[in-house]
Amino acid sequence: MDLETRVLEEGKRVLRQNRRIIGGHEVTIPAPGWFDHQYLWDSCFHAITLSHFDQAAAENELISLMASQHRNGMVPHSSKFNFRGMLLPYTSNITQPPLIARATLEVYEAAHNTAFLDNMFPKLNLYYEWLSKKRVREGVLTVASPLEAGEDNSVVWDDADSLRLPKASYILYDYFATHFPKTPQVRHVFSVKETALYADSLQCMSLIAGILGNNELSTRYERQHEKVIESMRKVFRHSSGLYYNLNSNGEPIIVKTHSIFAPLFAGALPKEEAETLIKEHLLNEKEFWPQFPVPTVAINEPKFSPTGYWRGPVWMPINWIIYSGLLRYGFNDAAQMLLLKTLVVVEKSGFREYYNPLTGEGLGAREFGMSTLPVDMVMRNGTK
């Protein structure tokens, strides 16, 4: 068996093993014994990967995710707490990276089941409407807490506001913001990654509406998408040419993280700028190209830590976002190199939650669902 086939087979095994029926809903939990809820972006990635080998499971994953949608349209970052197979009443007050339309489109394209698309579409409309009302500021997406970005302890949040309170107070605040609906939102990080995912999803919504014959909505989503792309440039582009997140006061948070590459995912950069970004930063051994890329923080940043949670290690959803961006621009050589290095680290250390980018050592949870994304990366490479 070659490397790709071994990773494919193991990835399928892990996702199958993590499937549960919770309260009548089919769910893939991120990692047994570590994360037993259903999580929003995990489920989107699980569904995308499942669609390569179990279509019904992929569709049910997204249908069960939307079963937790709040009446106002919000989809919680986690839900369906699993206690010995029982569904306990649980929901959260924050959302997660808005990939649901991208996942829905990919799952649809695997089998062209229009009934699935019909089922998802009204719920997706509500969700993207909620985001545009509650999270969009100055035309880009803001994030209420690091958990909402799926990056719990990211360095970006060290400088998210000017109050600079002790870290413990933010952890306490985030706990309340997550679990108690009336907690006011006091922090707004203007997030490059979330905006790129949002822009892409608006384009997916336009395509989905088109497939379902709703031309009016299709045009409306396409326009909304174009406006977000324009705003990204205005809001995030720094004089250095890099796109930085902004803190709650609208000031750039100047630290090189993986999010400088997120605009590629949305096709938001002119081709020459994209080329420079890849040559000077991604394929640069001093920044984002150590032996096991892609570190979530550049290795020459003072805050880089090879083992700190979201403070340097490799996370597969980020490799997937960057890989997708490279493919979108036709940077096939860089995409191939990234794919190979990604497969190597997974083969070396298994499907761990995250990896040390200097040694390839696996860290955190084991049998971690989102780390099976290399399966999708291989399948999209057209080699299997």
- Strand boundaries in the chain, DSSP class E: 19-22, 25-28, 38-39, 78-79, 81-83, 86-88, 136-137, 140-143, 189-190, 354-355, 362-363
- Residue 313 touches ligand GLC, criterion: CB under 6 A: no
Among 22, 25, 35, 197, binds ligand GLC (CB under 6 A): 35
CB 101 within 8 A of CB 201: yes
- Residue 39 touches ligand GLC, criterion: CB under 6 A: yes
Compute the distance between CA of residue 263 and CA of residue 243 in angstroms, rounded to an integer: 8
Question: Per this entry, what is the length of the chain?
Answer: 384
Longest dimension (CA), the chain: 55
- Residue 157 touches ligand GLC, criterion: CB under 6 A: no
Among 54, 152, 161, 222, binds ligand GLC (CB under 6 A): 152
Compute the distance between CA of residue 94 and CA of residue 91 in angstroms, rounded to an integer: 9
Compute the distance between CA of residue 311 and CA of residue 300 in angstroms, rounded to an integer: 12
The first and second tokens of residue 190, run together, are: 């203007």
CB of 276 to ligand GLC, least distance (A): 29
Helix (H, G, I), strand (E, B) or coil at 150: coil
Cis status of the peptide bond prior to 294, with omega within 30 of 0: yes
- Residue 150 touches ligand GLC, criterion: CB under 6 A: yes
CB of 317 to ligand GLC, least distance (A): 7
Query: Facing residues of 137 across strands?
Result: 140
Q: Which of residues 233-262 bind ligand GLC (CB under 6 A)?
A: none
CB of 41 to ligand GLC, least distance (A): 6
**Binding-residue total with ligand GLC (CB under 6 A):** 7
Stretch that binds ligand GLC, among 34-42, 250-258, 280-288, 320-328 (CB under 6 A): 34-42
- Residue 355 touches ligand GLC, criterion: CB under 6 A: no
Nearer to ligand GLC, 121 or 355 (CB): 355
Q: Give 313-370 as a 3 state SS string.
A: CECHHHHHHHHHHHHHHCCHHHHHHHHHHHHHHHHHHCCCCEECCCCCCEECCCCCHH
The first and second tokens of residue 286, run together, are: 């001093």
Stretch that binds ligand GLC, among 20-28, 39-47, 247-255, 298-306 (CB under 6 A): 39-47
CB of 150 to ligand GLC, least distance (A): 3
DSSP state of 132: H
Compute the distance between CA of residue 113 and CA of residue 351 in angstroms, rounded to an integer: 30
Residue with the two structure tokens 């907690």:
183
Distances (CA, A) of 116 to 56, 126, 210: 10, 17, 15
- Residue 42 touches ligand GLC, criterion: CB under 6 A: yes
Nearer to ligand GLC, 117 or 196 (CB): 196
- Residue 304 touches ligand GLC, criterion: CB under 6 A: no
Among 4, 14, 41, 142, binds ligand GLC (CB under 6 A): 41
CB of 30 to ligand GLC, least distance (A): 3
- Residue 194 touches ligand GLC, criterion: CB under 6 A: no
CB of 162 to ligand GLC, least distance (A): 25
CB of 346 to ligand GLC, least distance (A): 17
- Residue 312 touches ligand GLC, criterion: CB under 6 A: no
Compute the distance between CA of residue 284 and CA of residue 280 in angstroms, rounded to an integer: 6
CB of 372 to ligand GLC, least distance (A): 12
- Interaction site with ligand GLC (CB under 6 A): 30, 35, 39, 41-42, 150, 152
